Amino acid sequence: MTRTLLDCVLDEILPAREDPALPGAGALGIGSYVVEKLGDALPLITSGLEALDQLAADRGAADFASAPADERVALLNEVAAGQPGLLESLVFHGYCGYYQDPRVVEALGLAARPPHPEGYPLETGDLGLLDPVRARPRLFRDPGA
């Protein structure tokens, strides 16, 4: 499997976004994460993706990457229908890699850092909202009463 093919598929699964603008998951380099996480399943996925290239060629394109943009999703779905687990694995690992990438995390409005050691400020909140609860009679049963 060429990186180009996996990147191209990942760009279909997680395409470029706007505001803030970011390229798709393949262009962001999430493919290397996906390959690492696929582990023993990599040969199966590779074979599935090669079938994708073959199907694209059968339909007149040089390969999947060269297929018209509006046909790629259909090609992907068609191959996935005959390869259980193919798309599920790519989507799962693609999401996991994409949503921990610092550029994506920042695009969501978060600081691209682990939670510790800085943590997050959080407002105590309005405990006056409890006034109607405080005004209620006892809610528990007391067997000794």
What residues line the site for another protein (CB under 8 A)?
12-15, 17-18, 73, 87, 91-92, 94-96, 98-100, 102, 104-105, 108-110, 112-127, 129-130, 132-134, 136-144
Smallest separation (angstroms) from another protein to the CB of 34: 13
Q: Is 118 exposed, middle or buried (0-12, 13-18, 19+ CB in 10 A)?
A: exposed
Which CB sits closer to another protein, 28 or 87?
A: 87
Which CB sits closer to another protein, 12 or 53?
A: 12
Smallest separation (angstroms) from another protein to the CB of 68: 15
Smallest separation (angstroms) from another protein to the CB of 107: 10
The answer to whether the beta carbons of residues 79 and 55 sit under 8 Å apart is yes
Report how far residue 82's alpha carbon sits from residue 51's, in angstroms, rounded to the nearest whole number: 10
Which CB sits closer to another protein, 61 or 91?
A: 91
User: Which among 135, 109, 131 is positioned nearest to 120, based on CA atoms?
Assistant: 109
The answer to whether the beta carbons of residues 134 and 74 sit under 8 Å apart is no
Which CB sits closer to another protein, 58 or 69?
A: 69
Smallest separation (angstroms) from another protein to the CB of 60: 22
Residue that is written with structure tokens 């090669």 in the block: 50
Which DSSP string corresponds to 9-48?
A: HHHHHS--BTTTTB--TTTTTHHHHHHHHHGGGHHHHHHH
Smallest separation (angstroms) from another protein to the CB of 6: 15
